[in-house]
């Protein structure tokens, strides 16, 4: 048979995981290839980039979507296991599990929506299907970036507070602040002074510093929280600060920092993930596509 699409793979994948075993992704791919009776040639067929097998890639997407719906989980890196929620679904003997089926779960809807951007990107891809190849490529790339940003943010929330503080330091260093990681990280998380988690050099010589508050909030950060941070800065006679959260800032909080003398930068979870992707922190490059066009000047005859 031909290689199945990732939605067709979802239910068989859930059934394979249904035995409750903790299984590596590679073993899972091999088991599913057997169930779909794929030939060796079909199993080894590569994506156009030549970087990954098509079937493995599709199993990966099926796994990701069902993890977002809470049907599967990753007990450790490179492994998967069914959840209690996944077992309940299997007991209902669904005829098919696909994206429409997963939309019944709140967690999956939140993943798809991502404040409306995911749905709009999916719609955009559908709209440009009849457009140019470049338009389709750009729309697809945007959706992949949004998926990655959401996964990054989830990883940060699952980590420890100290890991989050280190991440903030590494990001600021990659953005050109703080000199080395060692120099920048000496004070982060140690001051504990009235809402200030640490400071970092604004330049490599240390002529000025930025005060930082880096907290993993679940709820929206309101104006009073930002005001406390500004008050702490004033106590240090400082006028520059960066406040970073894994959640979001209220409109009132953002309006407040726009109308004060101190320069306060607010970075919410969505922007944090974007900056991490932009500066290659916590991610690595999987595939690059180089698009070329005719050099008209080359063919001009003198």
- Over residues 136-159, the mean pLDDT reads 83
Cα–Cα distance, 240 to 97 (Å, whole number): 51
Task: Report which of residues 17 and 163 the model is more confident about.
Answer: 17
Q: How confident is the model at residue 112 (pLDDT cuts 50, 70, 90)?
A: confident
Tell me the C-alpha to C-alpha distance, in Å, between residue 7 and each of 20, 202, 275: 21, 48, 31
pLDDT computed for residue 191 by the predictor: 47
- C-beta atoms surrounding 167 within 10 Å: 20
Q: Which CATH number fits domain 1-107: 1.10.3210, 1.10.10, 1.10.3470, 3.30.230?
A: 1.10.10
| Domain 161-267, architecture per CATH | 3-Layer(aba) Sandwich (3.40)
Backbone angles phi, psi at 66, to 5 degrees: -75, -25
Domain boundaries, the chain: 1-107, 161-267
**Three-state SS at 94:** coil
- pLDDT at position 176 is 80
Q: What is the rounded average pLDDT for all residues in the chain? A: 83
pLDDT of residue 131: 59
Angle between helix 54-68 and helix 25-35 axes, rounded to 10 deg: 110
- pLDDT digit string (tens) for 164-217? 878 888 888 888 876 666 666 554 555 454 556 677 776 666 667 788 888 888
Tell me the mean pLDDT in the region 19-41: 94
d(CA 197, CA 183): 16
Per-residue pLDDT for 32 more than 90? yes
Confidence category of residue 114, pLDDT binned at 50, 70, 90: low
Task: Taking residues 114-132, report their average pLDDT.
Answer: 52
How far, in Å, CA of 243 to CA of 73, rounded?
32
Contact yes or no for 67/61 (Cβ under 8 A) = no
Task: Encode pLDDT of 210-253 as tens digits.
Answer: 888 888 888 899 999 999 999 888 888 888 889 999 999 999 99
- pLDDT at res. 182: 62
Residue 220, SS3 per DSSP: coil
Which DSSP category does 171 fall into? H
pLDDT at 190: 52
Strand order in the sheet with 72-73: 23-24, 79-82, 72-73
69 pLDDT band, cuts 50/70/90, is very high
pLDDT of residue 30: 95
Tokens coding 246: 């894994």
Q: Which band of pLDDT confidence, cut at 50, 70 and 90, is reported for residue 119? A: very low
- pLDDT at 118 (0 to 100): 47
Do residues 156 and 216 make contact, with C-beta atoms less than 8 angstroms apart? Answer: yes
pLDDT of residue 154 exceeding 70: yes
């Amino acid at each position: 048979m031909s290689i199945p699409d990732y939605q067709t793979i979802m239910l068989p994948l859930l059934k394979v995981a249904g035995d409750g075993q903790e299984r590596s992704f590679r073993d899972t791919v091999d088991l599913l290839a057997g169930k779909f009776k794929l030939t060796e040639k079909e199993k080894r067929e590569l994506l156009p980039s030549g970087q990954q097998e098509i079937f493995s890639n599709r199993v990966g997407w099926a796994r990701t979507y069902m993890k977002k719906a809470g049907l599967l989980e990753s007990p450790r890196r490179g492994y998967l296991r069914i959840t209690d929620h996944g077992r309940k679904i299997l007991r209902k003997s669904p005829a098919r599990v696909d994206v429409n089926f997963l939309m019944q779960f709140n967690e999956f809807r939140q993943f798809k929506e991502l404040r409306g951007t995911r749905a709009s990107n999916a719609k955009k891809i559908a709209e440009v299907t009849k457009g140019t190849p470049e338009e389709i490529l750009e729309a697809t790339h945007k959706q992949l970036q949004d998926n990655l940003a959401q996964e990054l943010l989830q990883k940060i929330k699952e980590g420890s507070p100290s890991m989050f503080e280190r991440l903030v330091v590494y990001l600021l260093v990659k953005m050109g602040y703080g000199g080395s990681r060692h120099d920048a990280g000496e004070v982060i998380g140690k001051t504990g002074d009235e809402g200030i988690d640490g400071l970092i050099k604004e330049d490599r010589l240390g002529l000025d510093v930025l005060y930082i508050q880096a907290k993993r909030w679940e709820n929206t950060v309101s104006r009073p929280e930002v005001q406390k941070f500004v008050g702490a800065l004033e106590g240090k006679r400082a006028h520059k600060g960066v406040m970073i959260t894994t959640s979001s800032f209220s409109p009132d909080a953002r309006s407040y920092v726009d109308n004060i003398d101190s320069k306060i930068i607010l970075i919410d979870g969505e922007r944090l993930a974007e900056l991490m992707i932009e500066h290659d922190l916590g991610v690595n490059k999987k595939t690059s596509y180089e698009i070329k066009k005719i050099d008209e000047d080359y063919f001009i005859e003198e």
